[in-house]
Structure 1
């Protein structure tokens, strides 16, 4: 009888973890599955553990092959897959019990080509957010496409998904050889799909190994590993340039945010004889990135890239240590005609780093928070804080006002110490206005101005101004 879902699991030297992985697959609430285990020439007892598990559960079957890498191992499993749907799991990871039920049910209802879901990082038995996946799975969607939902450019793994088998075969999808086989295939599938379901549910626990042989991703600072990563990135860029060129800049942005980090880390800890080859590789990486993506990086990353481009490794190491030590966020200061990152070498002219490298005006944010709202006699009082994120100095001036889309009503601001502010609103000021009002703030520091609207990042709370004979006016004020 044909199973609903085929799960392909490549295996290579994962003896400490494979048991937990297989148990998680056996415990899936979607029971009509087949699990195709492909031992890729393991040198430890992984194959024995898998064989014993398959002997107990007829849904599991084990195949052996000489070591060829995870991509060819997955391809070998796919050729044996009989299910209507297709999924992948790495043999050191864990799949939550309802993962495949949720993904398959979504595809049954939507008709999309594949469904994907959220990921947590599993480290020493503790689960934490996967920074690589978090932004892509904040909001659910049915029938989405990476062209419109650009955050999916971050979804570069195959094991947090269920694919339709006919979609896979129609486009002749196949994993390339090499250790970063996920990235080219994932991006290719996203572009070729007519519709993708995005689930905010956690469907995969991605392990960081604590013992045994390190995983490929944990050897990511090694020169051959970095070269393979660059090859995968180039493969994606070539595909996007041909099929979906408008996504290339967004993909490069993720490369600058995530992938380049491993090159920085390698240079931080490299021995003297390793620095030359790493710098040569870095020039290849930088040469392939789009000017648009390079122009949009944050100021601290811009400084790191500047130092990398000039081969200033010791200075780069100083900046990397500074980044790690800045637990409250890297500081920004007003300087002459703009805002600049107060980073190492900002005031040191010996290196002749242009001021533009440190320019951070787009990163300055005014944080406005309401702590209390309420009536004090006939007036409505709002008490809260106004602060510049990453700017240590207090504003010289703070202004606040209300708007209803047409009118602007200034308010008298009382400073209550530090970043505290308080305003009193006379309802008579709002007559003939409305039906709703928004509270705004403006700060000035050294002649530089930043503005914002009071908002609640999680939910908007509306406070009604209950005035006799006049009850239709409201204010969008966060608390």
Structure 2
């Protein structure tokens, strides 16, 4: 860290944006239109989807919206569709830039946005009916800095639930909650699930870092770290599209650059949280990363080329070096602990064998109760080179068993 406020400039990220001058703050306030929601949308070669995305915004029951789209150098007719849609509804404004990536497009669009509130949407996704009305109403009632909600996936034209950790985080409504009291809300790190007060955005978040795939993580770290309170709603807000051609950035899980950036932004997000809020949020978010975010990265090792594997070993070792103490491992689910240990020891064949044996589905394996907790007999249970604590259940799994819950894999007698 260069000083107490500025992170080492791998992506040029500031934990604390530079203060806004009183003159600039007055100018910003004069531009804002009360009640208006500014929707920021980057668009690059999304011709098959852009009309539906635009229609889902302009068709919201909260009519006071402006949609600011930046065409990021599309070559597939996206711009022509946007121009036709803008001619039919003056709430849509279209801007353009040479292809520079979605983060640069978002920053450009923010300069044209005039709403009291600001949110984000990608050009291939869909806002669900009533979303902005619910979120603005909640913010009006609570006074929170931003609101977030659950979401669903669109895969092959069919809506599917979000990942289990997203569903758990949004199982219960939290209004005006302090993030330090409810750190589980940080698992929802994507920007298109949130509506921010523009005043809070400008003071605490301000812009997206360039370049990268996972800058949502950095934005969310600043937002969660600085927020006085947050509304977390249960009803889904956005349908997030998994494209059939697997061309979206987050689907490219075996891209070396994608993987490197995933770990890099995770490290920077953790630094931001520690600088702004201290170890509690840092440690909570590190737990989320280890249990949730890197599942897709380590699940498909058998498909990865050798250079990807070597980089993965390096990145996993770097992430594990952030563990604050040995006891922290009990926050991590055993199916992940075992694999992280194997990756750190460069045991690729054993990782692949573990995955082939179904080790990722922890509930399929028998559990044993011992004096110091519950241990699950995952693949490689008999391998004495793997630390025994790697197989120990913690968190919700251990709580469920202590409360008398059932276990699909059954139980074995203590040895």
- Distance (whole Å) between structure 2 residues aligned to residue 17 and residue 387 of structure 1: 44
After TM superposition, the score normalised by the length of structure 1 is 0.73
Aligned to 2:106: 74
Q: Are the equivalent residues in 1 in contact too, given 2:254–2:304 (CA < 8 A)?
A: no
| Deviation (angstroms), 1:92 | 0.8
- Distance (whole Å) between structure 2 residues aligned to residue 273 and residue 337 of structure 1: 40
Aligned to 1:46: 78
Q: Deviations over 1:119-146 (max 9, x none)?
A: 1112122222212422222222221121
Change (3 A) 1:278 1:298: closer
Matched, 1:219 2:252: yes
- Distance (whole Å) between structure 2 residues aligned to residue 324 and residue 55 of structure 1: 55
Change (3 A) 1:21 1:242: same
Aligned to 2:407: 389
Q: Pick from 260, 269, 276: which aligns with 2:294?
A: 260
3-state SS in 1 of match to 2:103: helix
Change (3 A) 1:170 1:339: closer
3-state SS in 2 of match to 1:389: coil
Q: Pick from 162, 165, 168: which aligns with 2:201?
A: 168
Aligned to 1:298: 333
- Distance (whole Å) between structure 2 residues aligned to residue 107 and residue 360 of structure 1: 38
| Deviation (angstroms), 1:286 | 2.5
3-state SS in 2 of match to 1:187: helix
Q: Pick from 198, 210, 225: which aligns with 1:191?
A: 225
Q: Are the equivalent residues in 2 in contact too, given 1:5–1:85 (CA < 8 A)?
A: yes
3-state SS in 2 of match to 1:240: helix
Q: Are the equivalent residues in 2 in contact too, given 1:99–1:203 (CA < 8 A)?
A: yes
Q: Report 1:58-207 matches (<5 A).
A: 58-131=90-163, 132-171=165-204, 173-177=206-210, 178-207=212-241
Q: Are the equivalent residues in 2 in contact too, given 1:267–1:278 (CA < 8 A)?
A: no
- Distance (whole Å) between structure 2 residues aligned to residue 224 and residue 148 of structure 1: 35
Change (3 A) 1:307 1:45: same
User: CA RMSD of the aligned region, Å?
Assistant: 2.6
Alignment: residue pair count: 377
Bigger-Rg structure (1/2): 1
Q: Deviations over 1:57-78 (max 9, x none)?
A: 1111100001222112111111
* Greater helix fraction, Structure 1 or Structure 2: 2
- Distance (whole Å) between structure 1 residues aligned to residue 313 and residue 189 of structure 2: 26
Aligned to 2:354: 319
- Distance (whole Å) between structure 2 residues aligned to residue 335 and residue 315 of structure 1: 26
After TM superposition, the score normalised by the length of structure 2 is 0.83
3-state SS in 1 of match to 2:191: coil
| Deviation (angstroms), 1:327 | 8.5
- Distance (whole Å) between structure 1 residues aligned to residue 258 and residue 348 of structure 2: 20
Q: Which has the higher contact order (CA 8 A, sep 6+)?
A: 2
Q: Are the equivalent residues in 1 in contact too, given 2:267–2:319 (CA < 8 A)?
A: no
Gaps of 5+ in 2: 1-31
* Greater strand fraction, Structure 1 or Structure 2: 1
| Deviation (angstroms), 1:105 | 1.4
Q: Are the equivalent residues in 2 in contact too, given 1:6–1:83 (CA < 8 A)?
A: yes
Change (3 A) 1:248 1:337: closer
Deviates more, 1:37-46 or 1:94-103: 37-46
Q: Are the equivalent residues in 2 in contact too, given 1:158–1:182 (CA < 8 A)?
A: yes
Q: Pick from 195, 210, 213: which aligns with 2:244?
A: 210
- Distance (whole Å) between structure 1 residues aligned to residue 57 and residue 235 of structure 2: 17
